[in-house]
Structure 1
Amino acid sequence: MADNQQPSSQSERKCKSCGDVKPLDEFAPVYAKNSRGQNYRQHTCLICHRIKAAAKERRLRGNDPQRYRDALKRWRDRTLDERKAVKKTRYEKHKAQVFAAYGGFICTCCGETEPTMLTIDHKLEDGAEFRRNNRGERWSYNFYAWIIRNGFPPDLQVLCYNCNLSKHRNGGICAHKLREGSTTIP
């Protein structure tokens, strides 16, 4: 048998660890340098191999935990710029998606269109209550992702930072609206 293993057909193999007969593609290929072109499959299935590898990793980590902490720190340092770039790209994509869902990059009160001046506002002035109620949830690092996951809640709107702060300080009504004589909440 070219596969260098036991069972009755070339499409199946018996795992030496769990004893189950499984399809050949559930055994990882082994590429040996001196196999003269006759590569073969492992004797244990992928599941058993992963379980054994994880147990070995836990045992080694238990023997020398500092070595693993140092390796993790080296990995973090080595990939920091790449991970930051991925996070920033994802953040910008979510931000654009959220603003598009709420009418685009335009303040609903004054019409400001500079994207760096705009934010998402709670229409009912309940942002502090929202943060208290969702404290355990990991939304704070990316509020835009939270909005997408929760189906774009209707009690949010786009405001510029000036209107947002003015609305907060004037009891839920922006200074623009007070000046116009209107008392409706945007």
Structure 2
Amino acid sequence: MEQRKERPILFSVTTGQPSQRGKRLQSQDGLNWKQRNRDAVNARRRELYAADPEKHRARQRAYKNSDAKPAVLAYNRKWSAEYRASLKAEMLAAYGNACNCCGECEAMFLQLDHIENDGHMDRKLHKTSAKLWSKLKKLGWPKDRYQLLCANCNFGKAMNGGICPHQSKEVINA
């Protein structure tokens, strides 16, 4: 009978830290194999398609004509909505759950504000709020360029040359 090798222990039993082998197996760049080797994966897919294109076309036709497509789309919409909601909740918690200017706490009114008024660059780069929030999460929710403002303060800041009307009143009254 052939003896099977035991799986290596990736975490030290005594310290709970990754073993040397575990450290080697961890991705340094945060990408998985498929993401790092995108060109090779795509080349292989093109190769398989070229070998028997009708097989792939038939599979595509079968999927489009089946009842599975609406179910898959509905599942993806539901998952996306839940993911965006959880990501927004996490973003709100990371930035304090309240407007940085007036203290408004209603989550429906709170928005992520760019302190340096350079939001147009983020919108151009990320296209959606969820993609921006995901990037900020990876960066550890940086607070040097972003803050929470309610919709009134955020709009007022945009219309008032980068200063919230609440703060400009405080300057006038002082």
- Shorter chain as denominator, the TM-score bin is 0.5 to 0.7
| Equivalent in the alignment of 1:88 | 81
Distance 1:71 1:141 in 2: 33
SS in structure 1 at match of 2:108: helix
Aligned to 1:164: 154
Q: Report the AA paired with residue 106 of structure 2.
A: E
The alpha-carbon deviation at position 119 of structure 1 amounts to 0.6
Give the 4+ runs in structure 1 shifted more than 4 A: 9-12, 54-57, 137-141
Q: CA deviation at 1:115?
A: 0.9
Measured after TM superposition, the shift of residue 55 of structure 1 is 9.5
Aligned pairs, number = 131
Pair 1:119-2:119 in alignment: no
CA deviations 1:31-90 (Å, max 9, x no partner) are: xxxxxxxxxxxxxxxxxxxxxxx8996367512554333344344322122222222222
Q: Which has the higher strand share?
A: 1
Measure how far apart 1:127 and its partner are. 0.8
Q: What 5-or-longer segments of structure 1 have no aligned partner?
A: 1-8, 13-22, 24-53
Change (3 A) 1:119 1:63: same
TM-score normalised over the length of structure 1: 0.58
Identity across matched positions, percent:
29
Secondary structure at the aligned position of 2:149 is classed as: strand
Compared CA separation, residues 128 and 70, structure 1 to 2 (3 A): same
Give the helix-richer structure, 1 or 2: 2
Specify the alignment match of 1:20 in structure 2.
none
Q: Which runs of 5+ in 2 are unaligned?
A: 6-44
Query: Once the 2 structures are TM-superposed, how far is the Cα of residue 172 of structure 1 from its aligned partner?
Result: 0.8
**Structure 1 position 149 matched with structure 2 position 138:** yes
Q: Could you say which residue in structure 2 is the equivalent of 1:97?
A: 90
Identify the match of residue 69 of structure 2 among 68, 71, 76.
76
Rg larger in structure: 1
**Larger relative contact order (CA 8 Å, sep ≥ 6):** 2
Partner Cα separation in structure 2 for residue 71 and residue 78 of structure 1: 15
Q: Aligned pair in 2 of structure 1 residues 56, 166: CA closer, same or farther (>3 Å)?
A: closer
Q: Does 1:176 align with 2:166?
A: yes
Partners of 2:122 and 2:132 within 8 A in 1: no
| In structure 1, distance between residues paired with 2:3 and 2:50 | 35
